[in-house]
Chain A
């Protein structure tokens, strides 16, 4: 069966520090991968999506970047965190040409 792992679950980082959130999917190959963010009091917003290794599309301009070094690994990064980067980050995946999405457990990021 397919599973998605996302870590860490919570993270407190100072302003200006780097960030690396990791998401891996097991039990499938060539998934579409997504990073979403949920700011306090707001709905989920798509940040990045990837349809294959090394292929990253960004939906909104921001302080973050994403990479897909392996087929089932999706990494969200920042060189210098801002206060506005605080929020709940969620990784998700689906099969190519499938509309059913599977979500990770999320990372609550607090930038202080």
Chain B
């Protein structure tokens, strides 16, 4: 079974700060998802990675397959970025998706 650990569990930042959320996993994977969960619960898929780096607006996700580690970066953070960010790893078929417990981000003015 894949163990997925995220850090930090909670993060408070001021608007404009650069933010990094980390995810480590224990078993080789076929893909890794970064998800965003807003208050009220709806989840949005931000990235799906199997190697390298992806960028979307102010969000950047990287993955190091050898080190079994991924990071999610937010540049120029904004209060609307406040949410829970969840790392989820996929092994084999999509049904075998293991989630981290999430990082709660609060961005203040």
| Chain A residues near B (Cβ < 8 Å) | 32, 34, 36, 38, 41-46, 49, 57, 59, 88, 90, 94, 98-106, 108
Contacts and interface: CB of A to CB of B under 8 A. Distances in A.
22 contacts: A32-B95, A36-B99, A38-B41, A42-B101, A43-B86, A43-B99, A44-B88, A45-B99, A49-B95, A57-B95, A88-B41, A98-B94, A99-B31, A99-B50, A99-B94, A101-B33, A101-B94, A102-B45, A103-B45, A104-B42, A106-B41, A106-B43
Interface of B: 4, 30-31, 33, 35, 40-45, 48, 50, 86, 88, 90, 94-95, 97, 99-102
Contacts of A57: 95
B41 A94 contact: no
B35 to A, nearest CB: 8
Contact of B97 (A38, A101, A104): A101
A99 B30 contact: yes
Contacts of A38: 41
Contacts of B40: 106
A4 B48 CA distance: 19
Contacts of A88: 41
B99 A90 contact: no
7 closest residue pairs by CB, A with B: A106-B41, A43-B99, A44-B99, A103-B43, A105-B42, A43-B101, A49-B95
